[in-house]
Structure 1
């Protein structure tokens, strides 16, 4: 899987982003969720509107959407998220469909790690399907035990998530990573959680909490940072970046966009603005559980719904073109991992910056 990922990254860098060759989909397959996170309101959706839980795209609709599209044939990264994706009963058939339809693509699954039994059962089924799946499981750990449980609203959640991760480690050769969402309620645990990822022998990702009306459903969530807090967060992030860089091989240092992303997170929090050339809506999109297509997880303007038109009709429509023009004109901005890093991978100047940085260290 690692070699294929390198090839995919090189291809992204060398090819011009065009709508006809989509590289990445962020697909929320369900909004059912068994966490109650303070920074996300997805878990409230089906409590307030229980009827919409029955309106999620079916497995057959998913198959039709992705197999009938010409624009989706170049997919090399498929993100299955939620909600909690493992609580969807047909998760395994959804996963196996994507693996059969896009054999060269990496599949990333974001999980809270809480439904241990369901996760282990479904991972076992995946392993029965293929012995070395190109799968990355990303488990959310948003602090040490007390902090994590308070942030994610589930007593005992920290231990359950770690237990799930460690059970998978014992049984299956699947790549795993810890994910840390930075906010005033937990930033002080950042380095300790990073050290935990090293102790466990898994990867690590981080980003600031975000507002998104169409994804997190948390419009109006107040992320209030003081200048003193941001100064301390910057110090902690720098410490993590320094250690990450020391532990990576040269290829990862040169071609990975995450270190660049991490190094500018605090800058964006202090002065939100467009800081990169964004190709969301060109090479990637967000698909919600009910078939609504968006250029990304932040912008609220829908391209359309796949239950009303085919994906390619929507993607190549006048509406989609107008949204792309708006993005290209820098009428929006964000610094969110799933959008920023994907676009940075298409920017040759990132490689140049990384080369200069490595030469300066020598």
Structure 2
């Protein structure tokens, strides 16, 4: 078992395969996009597979592929197939915006992907365009349909934004009546990459939950799974369920079991730190697996206690955060 200096288990890796995205969600990046990484700056699939293989041997049991948008990267199924064959890996999943996903769903099912997180902040096509700056709502809904058709577990991720989509909270909750989906409402975070300092949270997890209870007072608390980042609920008679994630309030840090690797190979032991080790550079400088293993163990042994400490410890641009696309959602 892999643990950090606070005794927390580490068994979950979120691997970002690209910083590029085919949407321009305002809470994630500026309208003109980002200064995209060059191909040379990205980790190669071979480097990703090597790093993941080592981490699985060390104790990682679950890998989630993120971006950017994973399906923007060429031949992504090649990497997913190789990862699915890693001895010791118990779960392979991914997060996608759904725009390009539908044609890949049968292959995802074939290689054993059982769960997909689908980013969907609204069920209104016009608001979707306002939020994402792209007219792709129909493609996302097609992806949702394909995933459900192939019996792949779907978690819908909706970022709650004051003045943008709070009127969508109840319609999204109503999806759970006839669909076996988990709709998770996420506090907005300061990761939009435009260089401004975050001014505060208007809709925290308590306010989101109160909004849901105002319409569904019969809402029932479910048993949260180990390491869950969401407070989970169910409405009696509904097929699906609801989660509320305190991503900015950071109430779950005490049981956090996840680490991140960015598209350029930067290890983040907390979403809010600015990187603690670059495994891409170590590989390209000739480090062997044992040297990499010891460096990873050292990084895990210096992990911050929570997201607040990590944020306050940032060296690069304290108080100003990069885009979520460059981190891995």
TM-score range, shorter chain: 0.7 to 0.9
Is the counterpart of residue 37 in structure 1 residue 31 in structure 2? no
Does the 8 Å CA contact 1:32/1:53 hold for their aligned counterparts?
Answer: no
Question: Could you report, residue by residue, the CA deviation over 1:54-74 in whole angstroms, capped at 9, with x for unpaired residues?
Answer: 4321121112212245x7542
Q: Which residue, out of 61, 64, 84, partners 1:99? A: 84
2:65 alignment partner in structure 1: 80
Is the counterpart of residue 177 in structure 1 residue 155 in structure 2? yes
Distance 1:276 1:142, change over 3 A: closer
Q: CA RMSD in A?
A: 3.7
Does the 8 Å CA contact 2:3/2:300 hold for their aligned counterparts?
Answer: no
Question: Could you report, residue by residue, the CA deviation over 1:169-204 in whole angstroms, capped at 9, with x for unpaired residues?
Answer: 33x221112111111111221121121243333221
Secondary structure of 1:278's aligned partner: helix
1:17 alignment partner in structure 2: 3
Query: How many Å separate the matches in 2 of 1:195 and 1:136?
Result: 21
Is the counterpart of residue 165 in structure 1 residue 137 in structure 2? no
The size of the alignment, in residue pairs, is: 291
Query: How many Å separate the matches in 2 of 1:22 and 1:256?
Result: 10
Is the counterpart of residue 125 in structure 1 residue 111 in structure 2? no
Question: Could you report, residue by residue, the CA deviation over 1:108-163 in whole angstroms, capped at 9, with x for unpaired residues?
Answer: 21111112xxx23332233444xxx24211111112312222112112x2222112
Does the 8 Å CA contact 2:270/2:310 hold for their aligned counterparts?
Answer: no
TM-score using structure 1 length? 0.67
Secondary structure of 1:138's aligned partner: strand
- Report matched runs for 1:210-359 at 5 Å: 210-212=189-191, 217-220=193-196, 222=198, 233-238=208-213, 245=220, 252=223, 257=228, 258-259=230-231, 265=246, 275=251, 278=254, 283-308=257-282, 309=287, 311-317=292-298, 321=301, 323-324=302-303, 326-327=304-305, 331-332=309-310
1:151 alignment partner in structure 2: 131
Write 1 or 2 for the structure with the bigger share of strand: 2
Query: How many Å separate the matches in 2 of 1:90 and 1:208?
Result: 33
1:337 alignment partner in structure 2: none
Distance 1:294 1:253, change over 3 A: closer
Deviation of the 1:289 alpha carbon: 0.7
Question: Could you report, residue by residue, the CA deviation over 1:248-272 in whole angstroms, capped at 9, with x for unpaired residues?
Answer: 5xxx45758422796784xx97xx5
TM-score using structure 2 length? 0.73
Query: How many Å separate the matches in 2 of 1:244 and 1:206?
Result: 15
Deviation of the 1:234 alpha carbon: 4.5
Deviation of the 1:81 alpha carbon: 0.7
Query: How many Å separate the matches in 2 of 1:255 and 1:279?
Result: 8
Does the 8 Å CA contact 2:21/2:68 hold for their aligned counterparts?
Answer: yes
Query: How many Å separate the matches in 2 of 1:109 and 1:97?
Result: 14
Does the 8 Å CA contact 1:29/1:289 hold for their aligned counterparts?
Answer: yes
2:320 alignment partner in structure 1: none
Distance 1:91 1:243, change over 3 A: farther
Distance 1:104 1:245, change over 3 A: farther
Q: Which residue, out of 30, 49, 52, partners 1:63? A: 49
1:351 alignment partner in structure 2: none
Secondary structure of 2:274's aligned partner: coil
Does the 8 Å CA contact 1:241/1:263 hold for their aligned counterparts?
Answer: no
Secondary structure of 1:98's aligned partner: helix
Does the 8 Å CA contact 1:33/1:42 hold for their aligned counterparts?
Answer: no
